[in-house]
Every structure is written in C-alpha cells, then in structure tokens.
Structure 1
Amino acid sequence: MGRLGLYARLVRLDKPIGTLLLLWPTLWALWAAGQGNPPLSILVIFVVGTFLMRSAGCAINDYFDRDFDRHVQRTQARVLTAGLIKPKEALMVAGGLALIAFVLVLSLNALTIGLSFVALLLAATYPLMKRLFGVPQAYLGIAFGFGIPMAFAAVTDSVPLVAWVLLLANICWTVAYDTEYAMVDRDDDVKLGLKTAAITFGQYDVVAIGVCYTLAIILLGYAGLLMGWGVPYLSGLALASAIALVHMRWIRHRDRAACFRAFRHNNWFGAMVFAGILAQYLIHG
C-alpha cells in the first residue's frame, strides 16, 4: 500500500487540475459531435481514458525531468526526483496506464484507433520539447487537445473542420495558461537551460498571454458559428472571457503565487465554455 501511495503521487492523484484541463476540451468535442447527446459508452471511455493518459503523461514527464526537478524548489519533493521510486518504475506505471487506455480505445472505430497512436506519440514526446522548442506550450496544446479530433472520430467516424478549429482554440488556450504556469519557474528554468514560453516571450509574456486568450475566444466563437450555436453558447463564452480578464489582472505584476493561482483557475475557463455548449443543447435541443 505504501508503494501504491508513491505511485499515486507520481501520477498526481492529489492534483486533479491537469486532468480537468485535459478533460474540458474533450467534453466540448463529445457534446458537439453528439449534438448534445454523446453515446454513454463513448463518453465513459473518453473520461476514463483522459484520466489514464494524463496520469501516464505525469509519470513519463517525471522520468525525463528527474535530473532537472531536483534543482527546482517546487519539484524537489516529487517521488522520482526524491529517489522514493526508481526510474524504471515510472516507465512501468506510464506504460501500464497507456496500455489500459489503448485497450479501451480498441472498442471504438478504426479512425479513432489510428488517431490514438498519434495521441500516444504526442504524450510521450512532450517532455522533450522543453529542450528543443521555444514554446513547448504549443506542443502541449496539441497533446492536451488531441482528444478533440478523436472524439469526433469516435462519434461521427469523421473529423470535420469544427474539430480542427476547436483544437486550434485549445492550443491558444493552453499556451496562455501554461505560460502562466511557466512564469512560476522561470528563474529556475533559465538556470537549467530549459525552453519555455515564459522565457521566449520575455518582457512581453503578459501581452502574449492576452493575445493567446483572445485568439482562443475568437476561435471558440468561430466553432460556435460553424455549429450554429446561439445565445446560450455565447453566454458561456462571455463568462470564459471574463475569467480570462481576471487572470490578466492577477498576473500583471508577475507575482509567482498570482501566476500559479491564474493557472489553476483556468479550470473555470474550460468549464464555462462547456456550460455554454451544454446550455445550448438543453435550451434548443
């Protein structure tokens, strides 16, 4: 049981924010693809799969970052970094969770199964982007949002334009909230030679986050136009926009605690977009 507790900490069972940020875009897509009534079996598979893949992603991320995390105050206590478990255990946990998720996907159509291999590649390679790419948050946005085309594929056996628009919106949103997160560790990341959007954007970090929020909202509005959604959806989008403005106010002085608070609060941005979609179908069917 003690070992299971360590594995639970490895996959961040005590920190569900990552799962929620991954889940909301998937729910947007499932409700859009299912016209407000996604098949229950597909919904369950995607919700469970989201949890499993986020957990696997945490394990593989800690495996790749174990030599860096010991130099960052916020991550020094992670179980792999602290030596409480071995690197091979982290790989085994990640592989086991990914395998279970794949078994779930096997009950879906061929297009979804094919897309699942891309999703797995994205999840496995994201940690390397912090060494190679100046804005790894954009790659994370693709990885976190790939449940969108998969959801459309599972429900409709196709990936229409609106799915790609939602994915682009998610990329912009992810760059916004994960840059807020990166601002917390910026000084440590500079010393370690890692690449993040907070470092790349430099003094324009707050402006860049504002631009990304704006693009995300515009793209979400375009997705609503493609779907024929009206006032209920736009009301949810307006609430999400108000939340983004609150975040901009919080991060304007680049205080670490405020930036981390804004990052965590993005759960409500995603929730308001989903609430708008849900209200659209509840009111207008």
Structure 2
Amino acid sequence: MSFEIVNIVYECLKLIRPYGILFIGFTPVFGALCNGQFNPISLSILFLIGILGHVFVFVQNDYYDIDVDRHSRYVFQRPLTSGMISKTQARNLFLSAFFLSLALVMVFFFSFRSFFMLFLAFFFMTLYNRYSKRKPGMEYVLGAAVFAYGVFGALTVSDEVSVLAFIIACIGFLQWVFNVGVSANLKDVEFDTKLGIRTTPVVFGVHVIQNTLEKPFIFILYVFCIKLTHITVAFVPFILGETLIMINGFPLPLVCFLLLAAMMLFSTVGILTTSLSKRDTLLRYEGAHEGLAFLIIPVMLMTYLIEHVGIFPTFFMFFLFIAWPLSSLRILFGKTLIPLE
C-alpha cells in the first residue's frame, strides 16, 4: 500500500512538472512587486496562486492532449497517457487549482479588476489547451494568459498598473510565445505534420528531411525577431530609469543582463541547428533557454529588489531559480535531466 501511494505521488509530480513551477508561479509575484507590494505574506499568497496557475495549465494541457500524446513515442509514458493517473483525477486536480485560486483572491485580494484579470488568465489558458492542436499561433493566447497573470499581480496592489509591472507582463508574454511557439513546437514538427497539426513552425514551412529540420529563412527571421524583441523589452526599464545598471559603482546588473542575452541567443542558435536525431540535446537547449529567459527578469530588477526587499532575499531568489529546476529534474528523471516532453 505504501509503495502504491509513493508511486501515485511520483506520477502526480510528473504530471504537475514541478521543475517549471517557478516560471508561472512568480509571474503574479513580480507583477505585485513592481506595483509596490513588499509584504512577505501577501507575496507568499500570490506565489501560491501562481503555483496553482501552473498546475492548472499543465495538467489541463495533458488532459486535452491525451489522445494526441498516445501517438507520440516521446510522451506516451506521461502519467495520463500511460493510465497511471486517470482523466477524472486530472480533471479534479486542475479544477481544484482553479477554484482554490479564485477563493484565495476573494479572501485576500478581492477587487473587481484583479478577480476579472485572474479569471481572464484562466480563460486564455483553457483556450490555449483546448485549441493548441487545432489552430496555429495559439502560443500568443498562452502568452496573453501569462500577461494577464502578471497584470493580475499588479492589480492586487492598486487599480493603477505601474510602467514597470506592465513591462514585466510584456516580458512574460514574449517569453511564452517563444518557449511554446518556437522551442516546444519545433521539436514536434515531424509528429505534428503526420497528424495534420498546424503549429506555427509548420505554417512557416518547417519540415523534416532525413532527421533534419528544414527551416525557411522567413521562419528563422521570425524566431530572431521574437527573441530580439524579448531582450529589448527586458532592457527598457534600464533605459527608463525604472531600474539601474550599477550597484555600488559596478555595472553588475548590466554585465549579467548582457551575459544572459548572449547565452539566450546562443541557445536559440542551438535550438535552430540541432538535428532531430539528437532530441535530448535539443531538449537541453530548450530547457537552458527557458531558464535563462526566466532569470533575465530578476537580473533586470536586481537594484529594485535589493532596494525594496534586501540583498539576501534577492540573491536567495537567484539561487532558488537556478537550483530548483535542476534539482527537480534530477529527482524525477535522473542524471539525464530530460523530462517527458
């Protein structure tokens, strides 16, 4: 009996994907921080709401994609497709996350605008999960959900959204447009094409020839336009003076930002040039890019966070953002650090 319970918990963890839980989890937290919320209890509750949003979107995604995923040799061992977790259990899990999120907002942060924005985020998540395998460009809908989540965090503080909070929400939007529309969809082009699924790379004419992804120039241009826009928008707070490039006379935030930007571009090239026969390498490039893209937000906010929450919480945040995904992947998938994606 104890072994069965442990196995169910293990499968639930794989379903929830804890290694990525901070990405959406911190979105409302950053929105609130940039709108002047520094109370640790309020920020902790927002983090919990963010985690529930992560659980909702990923569990619901597997729920809607179960019939498609059964045809893929890469993800058929996911908890839902393998039958370790039933559809009813998955549905109960993401609905519980949804209703608990709404309840927390009504108790701790209720205002019409914040409640509406959170509901809108869940609506966009559901829209993405329901139609991502039917319509191209649905990553923009998911990006809109993340944008709404960031604005929701800001609205729990005030009905007026600061410029910095708005920029943070825009960064989240662009990050998920790239992560899903480019990284996630690119590795599945061969599989999607066989099933008649028209994702953004397929629409741009990306196709497979002997384990090699043939990418038209227009698609490569599109990819770098998104990535350069992402980096540029993340740099805007430095230009506007919302955050500073110097700490005690040393340009640590600027150096870290430029280093991250260069590494993001390098990993983008890796994503575009890696052969499908080296799927594990491709997944590592994609995972590295997601982590780097996530780190660029606290790096840009470094001086703001140090000023308002202190130097130790700020650098603990950096440690958490690096250590948590790596340790979670190691626990769930061993030394390869390769998830079922």
- One fold, TM greater than 0.5? yes
Greater gyration radius: 2
Q: Specify the alignment match of 1:8 in structure 2.
A: 13
Contact 1:169/1:215 (<8 A) preserved? no
Question: Quick one: which of 244, 247, 254 aligns to 2:264?
Answer: 244
- Give, as a single letter, the amino acid of the residue that structure 1 aligns with 2:13: A
- Supply the distance in 2 between the matched residues of 1:181 and 1:228 (Cα, whole angstroms): 33
Aligned residue pairs total 280
- Give, as a single letter, the amino acid of the residue that structure 2 aligns with 1:140: L
Contact 1:53/1:97 (<8 A) preserved? yes
Q: Determine if the alignment matches structure 1 residue 109 to structure 2 residue 115.
A: no
- Supply the distance in 1 between the matched residues of 2:272 and 2:14 (Cα, whole angstroms): 32
- Supply the distance in 1 between the matched residues of 2:114 and 2:255 (Cα, whole angstroms): 32
Residues 1-285 of structure 1: pairs in structure 2 closer than 5 A:
1=5, 2-13=7-18, 16-17=19-20, 19-34=21-36, 38-106=38-106, 107-110=108-111, 111-178=113-180, 179-201=182-204, 202=206, 203-204=215-216, 205-226=219-240, 228-232=242-246, 233-255=253-275, 256-265=279-288, 266-282=290-306
- Supply the distance in 2 between the matched residues of 1:8 and 1:149 (Cα, whole angstroms): 28
Higher relative contact order (CA 8 A, sep 6+): 1
Question: C-alpha deviations, 1:209-263, integer Å up to 9, x for none?
Answer: 2211100112222344446322145444323312212212312313333332222
More helix by share: 1
Contact 2:167/2:233 (<8 A) preserved? yes
Q: Secondary structure at the match of 1:156?
A: coil
The 1:139–1:254 alpha-carbon spacing in structure 2 relative to 1, beyond 3 Å, is farther
Q: CA RMSD in A?
A: 2.4
Contact 1:217/1:241 (<8 A) preserved? yes
- Supply the distance in 2 between the matched residues of 1:68 and 1:236 (Cα, whole angstroms): 41
Task: Compute the TM-score of the two structures, normalised by the length of structure 1.
Answer: 0.87
Farther-moved stretch of structure 1 (180-189 vs 263-272): 263-272
Farther-moved stretch of structure 1 (219-228 vs 64-73): 219-228
Contact 1:240/1:273 (<8 A) preserved? no
Q: Secondary structure at the match of 1:75?
A: coil
The 1:206–1:38 alpha-carbon spacing in structure 2 relative to 1, beyond 3 Å, is farther
- Give, as a single letter, the amino acid of the residue that structure 1 aligns with 2:188: D
Task: Compute the TM-score of the two structures, normalised by the length of structure 2.
Answer: 0.74
Farther-moved stretch of structure 1 (84-93 vs 69-78): 84-93
Q: Secondary structure at the match of 1:80?
A: helix
- Supply the distance in 1 between the matched residues of 2:135 and 2:234 (Cα, whole angstroms): 26
Contact 1:169/1:220 (<8 A) preserved? yes
